[in-house]
Amino acid sequence: MQTRKGTVENVVQIGEVTFLIKVEIPEIAREIAPGQFCNIKVSETNFPLLRRPFSISNVKGNSIEFMIDVIGEGTKILATKKPGDALDILGPLGRGFDTSGDYKTAILVAGGIGLAPFPFLINSFPEDKNVKLFYGARSKKHIIDYNYKNKFICTDDGSAGFHGNVVDYLNSSMDELKGDSIKFFACGPTPMLAALKRFCQANSFDCEVSTESAMACGFGICQGCPIETTEQGYYKLICKDGPVFNISEIEL
């Protein structure tokens, strides 16, 4: 973990409110692992006061890409950054995905901006793994435009792809999944992760999930991002013990 100054290379809009920010920051780019995150100071002033946590979306040489939804003042400031602007970045932080194991097929499940950590993860799988992405959005206009291969789209309103959410799609595809050696990797809103947990437990699938929380410090000092574990009365910290957990470890 280190604090470094990065240089914005470009900012590209890839969805209705979604932007991809590419930052040159070699010291962090060469250390980061899929599923880890960085805390970014969005302004050189004292407003907003706290850093913002963002998943590492991809690593390209000495540069890192962050995928963000503009939902508040902090993300609005980031989306208006220009090439050459400096960004104060703390990272890499947290525990990422574990791609090792003897499974044959990796199934990635994403909801909305939960798509963010998957480009880097996809590029990190061993060559012998078959990788499929199941991506859910509210509607066609909410689909994030990123160049994924082997992608299956689901929309709540049926305006693109499968009519329903990603777990509905998985349930409808059980005949195709049976008999395969599969590990799931997921990121998205908590209701989606909770439904996926029930699906994986019912079908004895291994699954890792990237969880979300407001994080003030990013490394466990403030104790502000607890998540309940399946061990009664015991909590872990999303920023330090996660954000990636085996789905069997946590309550959703």
Domain boundaries, the chain: 2-93, 105-210
Q: What pLDDT was estimated at residue 70?
A: 94
132 residue type, one letter: K
Rounded to whole angstroms, what are the CA distances from 18 to 15, 106, 140, 198, 244?
A: 5, 26, 14, 30, 23
Torsion sign across C-alpha atoms 238, 241, 244, 248: negative
Q: Which fold has domain 2-93?
A: Elongation Factor Tu (Ef-tu); domain 3 (2.40.30)
CB 161 within 8 A of CB 91: no
Q: How far apart are CA 201 and CA 204, in angstroms?
A: 5
The pLDDT assigned to 223 comes to: 87
- Topology alike, domains 2-93 and 105-210: no
> Which token pair is 99?
């791609």
One of 3.40.50.80, 1.10.10.10, 3.40.190.10, 3.40.1400.10 is the CATH number of 105-210, namely 3.40.50.80
Report phi then psi at 74, rounded to 5. -65, -50
In this model, does residue 87 exceed pLDDT 70? yes
pLDDT tier for residue 93 given thresholds of 50, 70 and 90: very high
9 pLDDT band (50/70/90 cuts)? very high
- Cα separation of 226 and 228, whole Å? 7
Residues 206-225 pLDDT 10s: 999 999 887 778 888 888 89
Determine the Cα–Cα distance for residues 200 and 122; give it in Å rounded to an integer.
Answer: 21
Give the pLDDT of residue 46: 60
% of the chain residues with pLDDT over 70: 98
Quote the longest CA-to-CA distance of the chain.
Answer: 56
Residue 61 has pLDDT above 70, yes or no: yes
Q: How many CB atoms lie within 10 A of CB 119?
A: 22
User: In the 8-state DSSP scheme, what is residue 112?
Assistant: G
Cβ atoms of residues 216 and 141 within 8 Å:
no
Residue 43, pLDDT above cutoff 90: no
Which distant-in-sequence residues (6+ apart) come within 8 Å of 126 by Cβ?
99
For residue 145, the SS3 value is coil
Q: 96-130, pLDDT tens digit by residue? A: 999 999 999 999 999 999 999 999 999 999 999 99
